[in-house]
Amino acid sequence: MEVIISDSSKDASMRAARLIAKTVKEKPDAALGLATGGTPLELYRALIAMHKSDGLDFSKVRTFNLDEYIGLPETHEHSYHFFMHENFFKHVNVKPANIHIPNGLAKNVERFCFEYEAQIKAAGGIDVQVLGIGSDGHIGFNEPTSSMASRTRIKTLTPATIEDNARFFNGDKTLVPPHVITMGIGTIMDARTIVMLAFGSNKADAVAKMIEGPITAMVPASALQMHERTKCFTDLPAASKLGHAEYYKWVYSRKPDWQKDS
């Protein structure tokens, strides 16, 4: 795992955006795994700016979102369909037919999950997977104790995650759907490159456990230590509890420029 510590979340997001832009330029039909929530917003803004000012072309790109709440229609303001369209898709030239987001209203959830895995496989696998990390170390909605080999499936949210996500539901945790469809840890680990974004002091404990702690199902993100090509982009507060922060900065600062965005 490569750890890239920036002064701010904006700087970190721009670095991540340059990596994704490079991937799309080199492989116009790249498959991107996308995340929701507050963490990737600056990344999406940077990619939108690149599209508008530099002509970054998403017309052949395929996208696969990590997760979706069960029971929310696509038009619901708190669904991840709505989030992605408002914060990214409607601002770039990605084709609607190339957008894949779990269906929270699927009549047969198990069959849908199987088909979602098949769609990812048919696309040739995910080239770059964007992730955030929960305060308890979850990735996607893979809560602590999730199987490291898990695939796309239904999950029940923990009270801690419901509490964290209540801010998106006007602070009312009773409005947070208790069940979701999420890519599994095994699905995530199949991506060729993983871009982990972690910002803010409230993520510092989880970041330290993910990067420097033992690999354990109790910290699902720790599985990324075993991934061939994970790049973790953090701001200073999120990196504040890393024991080797200065070493990570030293290594990154001495890389050739061409390697920093690769």
List residues with catalytic annotation. Answer: 67, 136, 138, 143
Decide: 177 and 69 in contact? Cβ < 8 Å: yes
Q: Minimal CA–CA distance to 157: which of 188, 191, 134, 128?
A: 134
| Rg, C-alpha atoms of the chain | 17
Q: Which are the contacts of 143, defined by CB distance < 8 A and separation ≥ 6?
A: 136, 155, 156, 157, 158, 161, 220
Q: Scan for tokens 């490291």, then name that residue.
A: 148
Indicate the length of the chain as a whole number: 262
Strand ranges (E), 70-144? 99-100, 128-132
